[in-house]
Copies of this chain bind each other. A is one copy, B any other.
Amino acid sequence: MVMHMTKPSIDRRVARTRATLHQTLMSLILKQGYEAITIRDICDAANVGRSTFYAHYTSKEDLMRSGIENLRQVLLDRQRDALATPGDRSHRSLGFSLTLFEHARDHIDLHRGLVGGGTVALGIIRQILSDVVRDEIAATGDKKSSDAIPRELVVQYVVGAYMAVLTWWLDRGAKPPPTEVDRMFRRLATDGVLPHLAEGGSP
Q: Residues of A at under 8 Å CB distance from B?
A: 34-35, 92-94, 118-119, 122, 137, 140-141, 143, 145-149, 151-154, 156-165, 167-168, 180, 184-185, 187-200, 202-203
- The answer on a CB contact under 8 Å between B163 and A160 is yes
- The answer on a CB contact under 8 Å between A188 and B92 is no
- The answer on a CB contact under 8 Å between A192 and B195 is no
- The answer on a CB contact under 8 Å between A164 and B154 is no
Residues of B within 8 Å of A191, CB to CB, are 192
10 additional contacts (CB under 8 A) given A93-B203, A153-B184, A157-B164: A34-B119, A92-B203, A141-B197, A149-B196, A154-B196, A157-B161, A160-B165, A189-B193, A190-B192, A191-B192
A87–chain B nearest beta-carbon distance, Å: 14
Residues of B within 8 Å of A167, CB to CB, are 156, 160
Alpha-carbon gap, A148 to B181, bound state (A): 10
Q: How many copies does the complex hold?
A: 2
- The answer on a CB contact under 8 Å between A188 and B141 is no
Alpha-carbon gap, A186 to B146, bound state (A): 15
Q: Which residue of B lies closest to A200 (CB)?
A: B141
- The answer on a CB contact under 8 Å between A188 and B140 is no
- The answer on a CB contact under 8 Å between A160 and B153 is no
Q: Which one of B35, B92, B164 lies within 8 Å of A156 (CB-CB)?
A: B164
Residues of B within 8 Å of A145, CB to CB, are 196
Residues of B within 8 Å of A92, CB to CB, are 203
* Interchain residue pairs with CB less than 8 A apart (22): A35-B119, A94-B193, A94-B197, A118-B119, A119-B122, A140-B197, A145-B196, A146-B195, A147-B187, A151-B196, A153-B165, A154-B188, A157-B164, A157-B185, A157-B188, A157-B193, A160-B160, A160-B163, A160-B164, A160-B165, A189-B194, A190-B193
Residues of B within 8 Å of A200, CB to CB, are 141
Alpha-carbon gap, A154 to B141, bound state (A): 27
Q: A93-B198, A197-B140, A197-B154 are in contact. Are A189 and B190 (CB under 8 A)?
A: no
